[in-house]
Structure 1
């Protein structure tokens, strides 16, 4: 079964051309089933790119998914057309009376700020508390996952001296986890961040680490008490996303004078002119497919009973 998104959302044509099954509102209405309602709270500056990345992963399975795009109510993006935001996104305050089977909270390029200094932090805290009554399962990604760890467990984030940037191999620390069905003993995950959470502090909070690296630290963390999982890295990235970030950093370097490092284990032979190979796509689909399957197996058919 396909993912249900508006026919004029840019992701519709992108995913159709890739062979991902998509359907319009009219097509979905003719099917006598309840689709899973998944919300995407998109905090990334490149909204359309992020929509495509997550829709691709959650729309690849056999279940019908209804994707709802959500934004912070007062925060105005400067990188996506206002017309796109007005047509496809709804502010959180307009959807907080609704129920969702799943919610993805994306990362945000604001790692250098203390959580409480983020302009929309108060509303994000409201969102995170709201997930406990209105969302069956929440997936926090990168900064979004760190924010949830901080909010629910006071696990701190630590500033790194150098950017953790590249493709890092991670060990499968919990092969029996339903979220890691089909995973190899280790896998490659794209990483791009200036902050980290530390394994001893995560474990002290009583949270199991499912994927981890001796170099990059915890990657995938489960939070059963809050019906959530947190991934601190970027399985959703396209093949060229790290290259785009590298070129962006090089461009900024001409202005700021900072030393820019090549993403580790990304370009063949560390040649930035070579085409990067995607070595994480299959595990990305496994993880998000397993998350959707867990939601399907455990959510209530009656949406009104989610959170009770």
Structure 2
């Protein structure tokens, strides 16, 4: 949220120089406030677990947020009751005429499929294009980040031989970027993926910038200059046990997964994981809601402008 300070206060110039949003009394008296409208396109098989993780992060602000859960097709998910989907999810066609302050597109366990082989890829492309016209800022998580880069810019991910799994050290590259407001210069975040796009590939796209990255995990947060597209290649929403559950699942399936890095004390899976990413995960979502949605979206969503078309 912005701070309201007296006009001409010396601190105002310092704060503006650090790209911190301040508001004088005249502007504050004319502010209109309404609930934010946020859609979640949930592509994960365990819908309920992902809902809880994301809603927990979205709830950590004083802003009122109306959330629509969106499904990409009518196929019964493996790990979620059909009754849950019917009760709480909107078909995309039911919200296609609506405009949103924000949209979150989750990851999906589709690492080894070419995008064109994904059964809902045509619908996915439709939604990606729809978001350019109907959403102020879209956050793409993990697989969705790579899928959006491929659709909009033709950049193809590479697949790692081994899964990148663990909690990795990251560094802030643009300390004055609002999305990273309050971040420590070095912070931690979980990753769980095979796909990889080099930082240089993101930065080669006009209007995109890698703003946080890891020596081991690569680009983590990438944002467009207007902050209407935010790509997050990891999983800031993960619960403390999520990587452990994935590791146990793969073991039970007869695979030989690597132990998630920097996660168990002494790399011993019998020990409870060390949790050191949740504060920055919460801060990332709070900053996105504030600086990419609340401060930028028109009060009347019908006045939302179309995003500049990405250029390949």
The TM-score by the shorter chain falls in which range?
0.7 to 0.9
1: CA distance, partners of 2:304 / 2:205: 26
2: CA distance, partners of 1:147 / 1:260: 24
Aligned counterpart, 2:73: 73
Aligned counterpart, 2:192: 192
Structure 1 residue 75: Cα displacement: 3.7
Aligned counterpart, 1:29: none
Given the alignment, which residue of 254, 263, 268 partners 1:266?
263
Q: How does 1:275-290 map to 2 (within 5 A)?
A: 275-290=272-287
Q: Establish whether residue 137 from structure 1 lines up as the match of residue 134 from structure 2.
A: no
2: CA distance, partners of 1:288 / 1:199: 22
User: Structure 1's 33 and 181: CA in aligned 2 closer, same or farther, altered over 3 A?
Assistant: closer
Q: Establish whether residue 302 from structure 1 lines up as the match of residue 300 from structure 2.
A: yes
Aligned counterpart, 1:180: 180
- Alignment RMSD: 1.5
Aligned counterpart, 1:43: 43
Q: More helix by proportion, 1 or 2?
A: 1
Q: Structure 1, residues 263-289: CA drift from partner, whole Å, max 9, x if none?
A: 000011211111112100110111000
Structure 1 residue 167: Cα displacement: 0.6
Q: How does 1:20-99 map to 2 (within 5 A)?
A: 34-99=34-99
Structure 1 residue 307: Cα displacement: 3.0
Aligned counterpart, 1:28: none
3-state secondary structure, aligned to 1:298 = coil
Structure 1 residue 194: Cα displacement: 1.0
2: CA distance, partners of 1:210 / 1:155: 19
Aligned counterpart, 1:241: 242
Which region of structure 1 is more displaced relative to structure 2, 290-299 or 223-232? Answer: 223-232
1: CA distance, partners of 2:122 / 2:227: 19
Give TM-score scaled by structure 1 length: 0.86
In structure 2, the gaps of 5 or more residues are 1-31, 307-312
Structure 1 residue 293: Cα displacement: 0.2
2: CA distance, partners of 1:307 / 1:91: 24
- Structure with bigger gyration radius: 2
Q: Is the 8 A contact 1:212 1:218 kept in 2?
A: yes
1: CA distance, partners of 2:215 / 2:193: 16
Give TM-score scaled by structure 2 length: 0.85
Q: Structure 1, residues 228-260: CA drift from partner, whole Å, max 9, x if none?
A: 10000001000000000010011012xxxx422
Q: Is the 8 A contact 1:107 1:144 kept in 2?
A: yes
3-state secondary structure, aligned to 2:253 = helix
2: CA distance, partners of 1:68 / 1:97: 13
3-state secondary structure, aligned to 1:208 = strand
2: CA distance, partners of 1:226 / 1:63: 19
1: CA distance, partners of 2:226 / 2:169: 28
Structure 1 residue 225: Cα displacement: 5.9
Q: How does 1:110-149 map to 2 (within 5 A)?
A: 110-149=110-149
Q: Structure 1, residues 81-104: CA drift from partner, whole Å, max 9, x if none?
A: 000000000111111011110000
1: CA distance, partners of 2:112 / 2:299: 41
2: CA distance, partners of 1:214 / 1:270: 20
2: CA distance, partners of 1:135 / 1:53: 22
